[in-house]
Amino acid sequence: MTRCTNCGRRMKAASPTGLGPVCARRAKAVPVPDHDRDLFGYDIERAVSAAQQRIGVHIAVMAEDASQAVRRGFRAARERVGL
């Protein structure tokens, strides 16, 4: 006796797919959507643009923080020197 490749049930006769009759009925093709969404319903293009926008804002904030840190460092150095 052969077994189903999906669930492991015993089958009377081997099938070309290797699935038993119950698993073959349950196995359905995944429908291809007409829009640019993945299988979970997310809009891929919108997610990419939102991620790029968030990364751009994060980089701008980090650059401004670094610039202010440099200014504070120069100000502290000038105060130590007495200028």
- Domains of the chain, by residue range, sit at 1-30, 34-83
* Predicted confidence (pLDDT) per residue in 25-56, tens digit: 877 766 665 666 666 777 888 888 999 999 99
Indicate yes or no: pTM above 0.85.
no
* Predicted confidence (pLDDT) per residue in 12-23, tens digit: 888 888 888 888
pLDDT at 77 over 90: yes
* pLDDT band with cut points at 50, 70 and 90 for residue 10: confident
H or E element, residue 10: strand 10-11
CA distances from 5 to 1, 11, 26 (A): 13, 10, 14
Q: Given its phi and psi angles, is residue 8 left (phi above 0), alpha (psi -120 to 50 degrees) or beta?
A: left
pLDDT at 80 over 80: yes
